[in-house]
Amino acid sequence: MLQNEFYHDLIDSLAAALDAKDFYTAGHSTRVGDMSYKLGMYLKLDDIKLEILHIAAHLHDIGKIGIPDSILNKIGKLTDSEWMKMKEHSSIGYNILSKSKSLSYIAKIVLHHHERYDGTGYPLNIKGDEIPYESRIIAVCDSIDAMKSERPYKSVMNDEECKNELIKNSSIMYDPDMVTAVLINWDDIVTKTYKNFNCTSSDLLNIS
């Protein structure tokens, strides 16, 4: 119990540190963590895998700590060179987390959360089942939150627009099994998340 509380306090602190640096995506890590955990439950992951998924989802963007503020909080679209720099965040996150042996698999999940199902993602262009299962879950939830978040250069998509994007990119960007599961359980996975996104990681796992 005490160890769980320590780990989740640490996760919340790291996520808060990232939110403080990237003010456009405040709460992003919590929402992606919430949605990923719920999607993992519907995909029938066991308790240990759910715990790993939940931690990795909360920390998936931790590498953005190493991205310059001028890029991270730029108003407007990134240039090609800035985008290349931004794409380094998954590798930076891997390098941060892989320093700890106990976080080695979580580091691998973080490294691959921007891979695409068809092999056109980054950083290693792996595809299909080569991508860690948890990374494929996070990829869908990360995209949903991006679509439902307002930025200076884009407006928020409504639910139907988000669903259509997921369907259009099923088997291209996303594992089709993940897309099907999230669409079937949209209200619980997505709608409820945006009503309760201020909860902490401990709340999500009902840790007292």
Q: Please check the confidence at residue 20 and state whether its pLDDT lies above 90.
A: no
The CA distance from 38 to 80, in Å, is 35
Q: Across residues 192-197, what is the average pLDDT?
A: 86
Q: How confident is the model at residue 16 (pLDDT cuts 50, 70, 90)?
A: confident
C-alpha span between 56 and 52 (Å, rounded):
6
pLDDT tens digits along 139-177: 999 999 999 987 766 789 999 999 999 999 999 999 999
Percent of the chain surpassing pLDDT 70: 87
The amino acid present at 4, given as its one-letter code, is: N
Query: What value, to the nearest 5°, has the Cα angle with vertex 137 and ends 133 and 139?
Result: 110
The dihedral sign for the CA sequence 12, 97, 40, 173: positive
Distance CA 72, CA 125 (A): 23
pLDDT at position 132 over 90: yes
- Res. 60 pLDDT band, cuts 50 70 90: very high
Q: Lowest-confidence range among 102-116, 168-182, 186-200?
A: 186-200
Give the containing element (helix H, strand E) for 71: helix 69-72
Provide the pLDDT for residue 1.
40
Q: What CATH code is assigned to 2-204? A: 1.10.3210.10
| Strand residues in 53-173 grouped as ranges (E) | none
Q: Both tokens of residue 168?
A: 């259009």
In 3D space, the residue among 20, 115, 109 whose CA is nearest the CA of residue 65 turns out to be 20
